[in-house]
Every structure is written in structure tokens, then in C-alpha cells.
Structure 1
Amino acid sequence: MSRQSSAILISAGQLAQATDATIVDCRFVLGQPDAGREAYLRGHIPGAHYLDLEKDLSAPVARHGGRHPLPDARQLTARLASLGIHPGARVVAYDDARFAFAARFWWLLRALGYRPPELLDGGYAGWLAAGGAEEQAIPQPEPCAMPTVEPYRGVVDITALASLQSAGSPLLDSRDPARYAGLEEPLDPVAGHIPGALNLPWQAVSDAQGFLLDDARLSAHFAGLPEGRPRVVYCGSGVTACVNLFALARAGDESALLYAGSWSDWCSHLVADE
């Protein structure tokens, strides 16, 4: 495990001592777009700023690109600067959904060339269970200068995906087994999975309380995956795939790529071709 991969997870106890970190609350509920911010207003880690999955960490939905397209890099960089987050800043992010939304934030910053955020092990519930303080006050941000905007790295679209698969890159589907198998599809117009994809459900890298598997169990979990070519990870819309990408990075694989549009983008091309 590299030094960088070991520094992307933080415990509640460590966070309580981290006086130099900007804290970001990423809580969100799919299908209930106001629930995350409402939870933040009811109580959050002292000093935490709130970023919304659909307003801050995604672009508007278009014909292609999936249900949660990547946000415009310039707009996200400006939003980060408004919170005082520059490329070298130490940032800690958390949610209450087993890293589902905090990992999206982690991936976005890393893809823009920022210092990768540290994700709070156990999430908000773990913080409270450890005796962490809670407040309702909204912190006043201290903006920083707008840095140079970098393009996203480590991301592929449907065209690049085809080339990577042809070259032997393994494709990992992060959705639950029922959706992968096409037994159910609650969100997208087509059921099933991208041909050749292996199923690696995102929830499997943490326990029910939202604590990441320890290093030995993570290594065992990923053992047997094809090696030698960059792995490409997807989910339904490019959100929970980031949990697998985070766990892979923690286990030492920092070369894995995100198919950002994921299954919802793939479906949009299938429907368009009919």
C-alpha cells in the first residue's frame, strides 16, 4: 500500500484531532434530493460545509452521459475555491451511506489533480457513536484564489470503454447482483449489464455500519481480479462506482478508471439505436 493510498481514510478519533482540515458533508438520498441538506441543517460535524450530489457534484442530465454526469470542471473548481479548497488543501469528507456519496467527491477531487480527500470511516453515525460533537451552525467559508482548471483524469466515455475492453481491460459492475443479472431495474430503461463485465457490488467493501474492510480483507476481496490492464469501474450513474475505486486505491490500485456515464449512459445509446 502506497503512502497516498493509506492516507485516504480517517477515523473519528483522528478527525477530532485534525485542526487543519476542511470538512465536507456529502450526505444525500437518491430520490429525495432535499433530504441530505435537511439532515445537514439538523446537525453536522462542527465546521463542515455541505455539497450536494446533484447541485454541486453532477452536471444537468442530457441525452447521453448518464443520470449523474460529471460536473463542469471549471464550475466545480470555482465551487471548491469558494469554500477555500485549493489543490493542496487537506479535506475530509463524510456521508451516512457507506461512502456512496463521499467517494464521488473523493474521486472528483482526485480526478482534478487535487490532494485526495480523506473519507471518514464509519461516516456520520460513526462520528456520533465515537462521541463526536454535532452542531447546526453554518460555517462561514474563507474563499481561496481560483486555481488553474485541470481536465478530469482517469475517466472514460463509451468510445474509450470499447477500446479498453478490446485491449483486455477488465470491466467491473458495482451494482447489486439483481440489477447486474437483469432481474430488476428500478432506474434505467434497460435491465442487465455491459457484455463482459464482472459483478463487484460496491457495498461489499464495507460493513453494515459503514466501516471499510481492513487491509487484509480488502486484499482478499480483490484477489483474483484480472491484472495487467487498467480496470474500468461502473455502476448505474457513476456514483457508487467511486466506492469501489476508493477501495481499490486503498488496496494499492490507483490506476483503475471510471466509466462516468455508467449503465445509464450505456442504456441511452441502446435506446437511441432502436
Structure 2
Amino acid sequence: MSYFIRQQRLQQLLEAQAAGDTKLVIVDVRYDLSDEDAGEIAYREGHIPQAHYANLSHDLSSGKRPDGEGGRHPLPDPQAVAQFFGSIGIATDSIVVAYDDQGGAMASRLRWLLQWIGFDGEVYVLEGGFKSWKEAGQAVSTDIPDRLEGFHLPVELNESILVDQQYVHSKIGAAGTVIIDSRDGARYRGEVEPLDKVAGHVPSAVNYFWQEGKNADGSWKNAEEQAERFAAIDKNDEVIVYCGSGVTATPNYFALQEAGYNNVKLYAGSWSDWSSNSDNPVAVGDE
């Protein structure tokens, strides 16, 4: 299934929804790492018609621990996030379209969470996000859809797509496993670290910056182009992706899936979790 959906197709789905021919749920996941309320403020000022809002910190993550374990955006409780998804109308037969203005990273987190709790329906990230939607002259609304009471998306955890700190530690340098750091090169090499306690990366990890999954015009590369991007990785290998806090690694997670990699896992705590443990080894420079 394709990772992205284009504006024209979303418009067709909105029209089908109005005619009662589809069960579409649109989710606005805009978020500012420096101001966790900014995304919802922007949403209230204007969003795609019928879109609900999901806050990365409150709806798609759980509370941070003082010791930093679990990272800056720890995974939410599965039942809690399933209840949230149900409250915005996501059912087993829904078509879900998520968007943001952060290159698709926040929307990809939502898509990954749905896959994690066992939702096997159609989930897409809107190509170009809200900015492109608005610039194209598409309809914008300030109406806030009602939340639903008593609805709960079924949970059947897909535990095979998630790994923790201990698992990653056991896979450092292991044959048949590739660990991917999805952050920009300077953070991977340990030259800068604006957010976490320690600069560097997990030893043996290779760097595939998540933004390199895009073309020069900002559109996302297709499956063949993603396969070329990851050509150095054997498709039979286990691939573990991480980033700073488990969010921007998710575009790489789905890009790998589109490229034909069937054993891809997310280290959700990512570098913010890894660097919270002073006993963990740290590498700098290029591998």
C-alpha cells in the first residue's frame, strides 16, 4: 500500500464522504517541538475540512519520565491511544489520512501507532501537508468536529515492529541486523546535539537522514527510488530504525517497507532514551 496520498485523491475522498460512500477520518498532526501548543493553535485557525487534531505530546505519546528513560516522546499506552483513535471516529473500516507541516514526520508517527495497535486498514500521509493544501487553494475550515463517546478501536498489538534499548544493545554489530540512525549527519556524527544529553550515535549504526527520502521539490520518492536509496542493505536483514525521539524515524520505517524490506522495527525511545543511560556505549564520526 502506498505511503502517501495526493491532494486530488483526498478531495475525491471528501466528496465520497459527503455522499456517504466512504468512512474517511482526517487527522491534523501539526506540532512544534519548541511549543507543544502551537500545532493546535494553528489547527484552530484553519484546517482541512472535517479534520480532527492529534497532539504529539498528549495524544500520541505518554508523559516523559524525569530520568529520561523512554525518551522525549514515549509511546502511549496502547489502550489509551486506541481510545483516542476511537474518539475521533477511526473504526476498523475507516480510511485514515494524516497530515502535518513537518514534512510528514508527525503524520507518520500516527500511521505507525495505528500499525502497532493492529489497525490493518488504509492509512495515508498527505503529500505536501497542510501548507501545500492551502497554497493550492483547497478548502479550509475552522469547524471543530465533535468527539465520539464510548468508541474504542480494537487492539491487537503488533509487537514485532517495536524494540527497546536492551534489544538494540544486543544487536550492535550483529550479523544480519542493520541499525539506521535517521537524524541529520551532524547529529549522527556527534558534532552537535541540541536536544539530548550526549552527542553521537549507537555503535555500528549507519546514517540515512529521513529527509533524504524526498526529492528536490519536496515530494516523496517512490518505491523504486527508495529501494535505490537503501540498496546497500540486504532485504533479508533485520532493520532497526531510530532518530531523536522515535518520531522522524517513522518516515524511514515506511520508506523501507515500500522499498520491499519486510523485517523493519522501530526503536521508539531512540537516541533520547539511549543517551539517558550513561552505561550505554556511544560512537562518534562516520561508521
Q: TM-score, normalised by structure 1?
A: 0.91
The match for 1:12 is 7
Given the alignment of the two structures, is residue 137 of structure 1 paired with residue 143 of structure 2, yes or no? Answer: yes
Residue by residue, what CA displacement relative to the aligned partner does 1:19-51 show, whole Å, maximum 9, x if unpaired?
231000000011111110111011100000000
The aligned runs of 1:106-255 (5 Å cut-off) are 106-114=111-119, 115-142=121-148, 145-153=151-159, 154-165=161-172, 166-207=174-215, 210-255=218-263
Alpha-carbon contact 1:98-1:209 (below 8 Å) kept: no
Residues 124-165 of structure 1: CA deviation (Å, up to 9, x unaligned): 122123331101111124456324433353100011223344
Instruction: Assess if the C-alpha contact under 8 Å between 1:180 and 1:192 holds in 2.
Output: yes
Per-residue displacement from partner, 1:213-241 (whole Å, max 9, x unpaired)? 13332222121124322100000110100
Task: Determine if contact 2:274/2:280 at 8 Å carries over to the other structure.
Answer: no
Which residue in 2 is equivalent to 1:270?
278
Distance 1:117 1:144 in 2: 23
The 8 Å contact of residues 58 and 70 in structure 1, kept in 2 or not, is answered as yes
C-alpha change, 1:99 and 1:235, in structure 2 (3 Å) is same
The unaligned stretches of length 5 or more in structure 1 are none
Does the CA-based 8 Å contact 1:86-1:144 persist in structure 2?
no
Alignment root-mean-square deviation, CA: 1.9
Q: Is the Cα contact below 8 Å between 1:85 and 1:143 reproduced in 2?
A: no
Letter in 2 for 1:225: I
Q: Which residue of 2 aligns with 1:34?
A: 37
Task: Give distance in 1, aligned partners of 2:148 and 2:216.
Answer: 36
Q: Which amino acid aligns with 1:60?
A: G
Tell me how many residue pairs correspond in the alignment.
268
1:59 equivalenced with 2:62 (yes/no): yes
Per-residue CA deviation, residues 189-212 of structure 1 (Å, 9 max, x unaligned), is 100000000000011112466421
TM-score of the superposition, structure 2-length normalised? 0.87
Alpha-carbon contact 1:84-1:144 (below 8 Å) kept: no
Q: Which residue of 2 aligns with 1:84?
A: 89
CA contact 1:25–1:44 (8 Å) conserved in 2: yes
One-letter code of the match for 2:233? L
Runs (5+) with no aligned partner, structure 2: 282-287
Return the offset for 1:116. Answer: 4.8
**1:26–1:36 contact (8 Å) kept in structure 2:** yes
Structure 1 22/94 Cα, relative in aligned 2: closer, same or farther at 3 Å? same
Offset at residue 243 of structure 1 (A): 1.1
CA 1:27 to 1:65, structure 2 compared with 1: closer, same or farther past 3 Å?
A: same
Cα separation, 2, equivalents of 1:227 and 1:265: 27
Q: Which of these residues, 88, 104, 107, is aligned with residue 102 of structure 1?
A: 107
Aligned-partner residue type, residue 84 of structure 1? G
| Structure 2 Cα separation of the partners of residues 48 and 11 of structure 1 | 16
Identity of paired residues, percent?
43
Show CA shifts across 1:165-205 (max 9, x none). 43531000000000000000001110000000000001111
